[in-house]
């Protein structure tokens, strides 16, 4: 099984995984396994409408969903590095990786519930990227907000005398 690669300087980066999303997939896989068990017991009791192959369908789906949950929990969604913010999509992250350099960013805006992050490339806020923070556990979102706000240059200017 593939594992995350070793990081050269892990003390200089923050990783945020899709652990919140993984929890939902684990629950779904457990429900699928329970349904598999129900179908298996019904077939073993000799019910005439059930065949031997019927439990294999939810079992296969449960295994695939459990693998997806493992992938979500192990692999990063957002990584804050000294260079910038690395955003990994769920599908084909090695091809569709998005790296946004800190120098490209003018501002970062979080909604009040910390469920959406808007990264702005210009002061007019007409270009940028919008990220859903729902895959990240709610307890980790304030850490992400503090880390991004702490890294961005402050745009507040002091009034001249």
Q: Calculate the CA 25 to chain-centre distance.
A: 12
What 3-state class would DSSP assign to 44? helix
Element spanning 129, H or E: strand 128-132
pLDDT at position 1: 42
pLDDT at position 44: 87
Half-sphere exposure of 137 (CA within 13 A, CB side): 12
E strands of 22-127, at which residues?
Answer: 76-80, 84-87, 98-101, 107-110, 116-120
C-alpha 91/C-alpha 39 separation (Å) is 32
Tens-binned pLDDT, residue by residue, of the chain (161 aa): 444 455 566 667 788 888 888 999 999 999 999 999 999 998 888 888 878 888 899 999 999 999 999 988 888 888 888 888 888 888 887 788 888 888 888 888 899 988 999 998 888 888 888 998 998 888 999 999 998 888 886 654 444 44
- Cβ pair 131, 146 in contact under 8 A: no
- Cβ pair 118, 108 in contact under 8 A: yes
């Amino acid at each position: 099984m593939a594992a995350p690669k070793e990081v050269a300087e892990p003390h200089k980066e923050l990783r945020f995984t899709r652990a919140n999303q993984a929890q939902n997939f684990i629950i779904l896989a457990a429900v699928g396994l329970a349904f598999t068990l129900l179908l298996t017991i019904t077939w073993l009791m000799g019910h005439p409408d059930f065949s031997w192959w019927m439990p294999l369908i939810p079992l296969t789906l449960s295994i695939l969903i459990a693998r997806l949950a493992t992938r979500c929990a192990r692999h990063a969604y957002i990584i804050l590095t000294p260079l910038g913010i690395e955003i990994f999509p769920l599908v084909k992250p090695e091809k569709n990786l998005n790296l946004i350099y800190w120098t490209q960013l003018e501002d970062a805006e979080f909604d009040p519930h910390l469920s959406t992050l808007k990264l702005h490339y210009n002061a007019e806020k007409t270009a940028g990227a919008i990220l859903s923070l729902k895959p990240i556990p709610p307890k980790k979102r304030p850490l992400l907000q503090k880390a991004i706000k702490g890294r961005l240059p402050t745009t507040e200017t002091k009034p001249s005398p």
